[in-house]
Amino acid sequence: MKILKQAEKKTYQRDAALTHTVMDIIENVQTNGDKALIEYAAKFDHMDIDTVRISPEQVKAAYEQVDEETIETIRFAAGQIRFFAEKQRECLKDLNIPSRVEGVEIGHRMIPVDRCGCYVPAGRHPLPSSALMGIVTAKAAGVQEVCACSPAYAGYGTIHPAVLVAMDIAGADEIYCMGGAQAVAAFAYGTQSIKKVDLIVGPGNKFVTEAKRQVLGDVGIDSLAGPSEVLIVADHTADPEFLAIDLLAQAEHDPNSKAILVCTDRATIDETMKKMDRLITTLNTEDVCRQSWKDNGAIYLADSMQEAIDLANEIAPEHLEIETDNEREVAQQMRHYGSLFVGHYAPVAFGDFVSGPNHTLPTMGTARYSNGVWVGTFIKTPFHQFVNKQGCLNLAQPTMNFANIEGLPAHRDSVRLRVERMK
């Protein structure tokens, strides 16, 4: 393995100042509720508002600000995401079976959370796709009350109309114009006008991520996301122009985005870099791409495909592209990734918007033990046991033995008294 280019800096680091800033924001929202949200709207979003709640009239007005092609594109993407999420939901079944012990039934149920909050970032461009990924999936899971929020978008004084339309098409029950750590706090603890939620999902900046970390335990979260990533595994069959544009597509997300190429062929790497030099000048995101690639881009020349596969599994990227000969065989050996894109005609862009699987994915190597948002994110699986008299007798002795071993006499007697009652 030869490293031809390394990332020059870490893409995400916590610091004491960030922790304390977020802590203060959360405490303010807990103490002052809506008043704090309105003050933060003025401070951060330059909005003079009386409430963060978006009215039906504002949603209706958003449709009038969005062209029909955009609306149809959002509907198409919502249909794709809903189809996949509903098929996932069909895989999740309740279970109720007889135990090995007579008189005992055991099992579990699939129960959606009652209420969730879906956070939609407002970056350099509107992100209606992120609204769809959270809200549509929550609805497919069976969540009854799905709330959505997004910060005000520059020039509109409220949520970007394309994002509002996406929230509505996705089926949001409540929509709030709020963002940052204060939005996470409002969802986690409630305010005078916002009822607290059970679960918060969706990506955000470092303030949002830190806030999710701090409220975890008081409310559930999906994950703690870092900057977006792609790793492309390629060989001599890959098209250098495809490789170059896919690396740039990742780089243009954010200056902290990470794009990695792992290739077994030096000539393909060299040609890819030539294509990148040409293509980058055609993009209006050129400055972001250059900064991201300079700071965080990496290139590895692997001695074999197995070495490339091993490195990909070690890095465990958010997005993993396979552009090789025998791509399905290579894909089968991949074990750690957020979402997999197989074939020379499978760019990450499809997954970002319309192919169906969720684009809220694990980053920073957490794909080694976690997965992206899916219907299961919104569903808890509590267990049950039904025990009749015969089952009680059959379980009694080993249970009382365990209670004695662990020094829990009331546990022992909760069984003993029932057995004695049956005599």
Q: 228 among the known binding-site residues?
A: yes
pLDDT band at 47 (very low <50, low <70, confident <90, very high): confident
Q: Say if residue 93 is exposed, middle or buried (CB neighbours under 10 Å; 0-12, 13-18, 19+).
A: exposed
Q: Does the annotation place 205 within a ligand binding site?
A: yes
Is 291 annotated in a binding site? The answer is no
Bridge partners (DSSP) listed for residue 220 = 199
Written in H, E and C, the secondary structure of the chain is CEEEECCCCCCCCCCHHHHHHHHHHHHHHHHHCHHHHHHHHHHHHCCCCCCCECCHHHHHHHHHCCCHHHHHHHHHHHHHHHHHHHHHHHHCCCEEEECCCCCEEEEECCEECCEEEEECCCCCCCCHHHHHHHHHHHHHHCCCEEEEEECCCCCCCCCCHHHHHHHHHHCCCEEEECCHHHHHHHHHHCCCCCCCCCEEECCCCHHHHHHHHHHECCEEECCCCCCCEEEEEECCCCCHHHHHHHHHHHHCCCCCCEEEEEECCHHHHHHHHHHHHHHHHHCCCHHHHHHHHHHHCEEEECCCHHHHHHHHHHHCCCEEEEECCCHHHHHHCCCCCCEEEECCCCCHHHHHHCCCCCCCCCCCCHHHCCCCCCHHHHEECCEEEEECHHHHHHHHHHHHHHHHHCCCHHHHHHHHHHHHHHC
How far apart, in whole angstroms, are the C-alpha atoms of residue 32 and residue 310? Answer: 51
pLDDT at position 287, please? Answer: 97
Tens of pLDDT, residue by residue over 343-385, are: 999 999 999 999 999 999 999 999 999 999 999 999 999 999 9
CB of 329 within 8 A of CB of 322? Answer: no
319 appears as a binding residue in the annotation:
yes
For the domain made up of 227-371, the CATH class stated in words is alpha beta
**Quick one: pLDDT band at residue 13, thresholds 50, 70, 90?**
low
Confidence class for position 67, pLDDT limits 50, 70, 90: very high
pLDDT at 11 over 80: no
User: In this prediction, what percent of the chain has a pLDDT beyond 70?
Assistant: 99
List b or e across 385-401, with b for residues whose CB sees 16 or more CB atoms inside 10 angstroms.
eebeeebbbbbbeeebe
Our measurement of the distance from residue 147's CA atom to the centroid of its chain's CA atoms, rounded to an integer in Å, reads: 16
Q: Whole-prediction pTM value?
A: 0.94
Residues marked as catalytic: 318-319
The answer to whether 248 and 261 are in contact (CB under 8 A) is no
Q: Which residues contact 185 (CB under 8 A, 6 or more apart)?
A: 25, 26, 28, 29, 30, 211, 215
- Nearest to 270, CA basis, from 243, 288, 291, 248: 243
User: Which regions of the chain carry the CATH code 3.40.50.1980?
Assistant: 16-221, 227-371
pLDDT at 349: 97
Write out pLDDT tens, residues 173-187.
999 999 999 999 999
pLDDT, residue 243, reads 98
Topology of domain 16-221, per CATH?
A: Rossmann fold (3.40.50)
411 annotated to a ligand binding site: yes
Residue 388 has pLDDT above 80, yes or no: yes
- 182 is annotated as contributing to ligand binding: yes
Residue with tokens 């129960």: 111
Q: Is the pLDDT of residue 49 over 90?
A: no
pLDDT higher than 90, residue 239? yes
Q: What is the pLDDT of residues 206-227, one digit of tens each?
A: 999 999 999 999 999 999 988 9
